[in-house]
Amino acid sequence: MIKKEFTLNALEKKVCIDLARKSIKYYFENSSILTLNKKDFDKLPKPLLENKACFVTLTINNQLRGCVGHLNAIQPLYEDILENACSAAFSDTRFSALSEEDYSKIKIEVSILTEPFDFEFKSSNELINSLVKGKDGLIIRKGYHSATFLPSVWEEIDSKEEFLSHLCLKAGLAPDEWKNLGLKVQKYYAIKAKEV
């Protein structure tokens, strides 16, 4: 049996954003992660009940304000959104916890990820040539070092070389480490739900 590709329509994407926003608001009021009551759970679109991994990204005036998520599907998508929204708002170590004043200014983006798959390459040229700008999310690993860039990072970094160099730096590696053999690379794609 061929597995149907995961998709979300406009309404389902809106539900993703609404859940993330409600989760952050609820945390301000209760200092805990929102759990849905039966009525709200029963209204959820079916795709949000599937086990999927997601990242929740918060921005203020197009500047990153928090981004946290999972690379592997460990729970239903709606739960991953509720949890990662709170983590992006209150636990991203690069930022102080979101203030209630900033809550009204944030824009929320939810990226639902496909399962990462291994990508084998024999040279840095092959790695560069295989990258699809705007589509590929990447995970790199070497020893104890690892990092990921969501496909949306292509909106800020246009050059493939720069994309790889910044990703290496994020992993705590030398910026040109991607030119050396021994780097493990995985690719994934994302469906985006975004507040405008």
Euclidean distance between CA atoms 186 and 116, whole angstroms: 6
Please write the tens of the pLDDT for every residue from 35-83: 999 999 999 999 999 999 999 999 999 999 999 999 999 999 999 999 9
- Strands 53-60, 107-113: pairing is antiparallel
Phi-psi category of residue 134: left, alpha or beta, with phi > 0 → left and psi -120 to 50 → alpha: left
Domains of the chain in start order, with CATH, are 10-113 (3.30.700.20), 117-189 (3.30.1490.150)
Helix (H, G, I), strand (E, B) or coil at 6: coil
Please write the tens of the pLDDT for every residue from 112-131: 999 999 988 999 999 999 99
Q: Per-residue DSSP letters for 156-175?
A: T---HHHHHHHHHHHTTS-T
In DSSP terms, which residues pair with 74 in a beta bridge?
none
Q: What is the structure's pLDDT at 1?
A: 41
Taking the model in full, what pTM does it have?
Answer: 0.90
Q: Give the pLDDT band (50/70/90) at residue 181.
A: confident
* Tokens representing residue 131 in the block: 């990258």
Q: What is the structure's pLDDT at 29?
A: 94
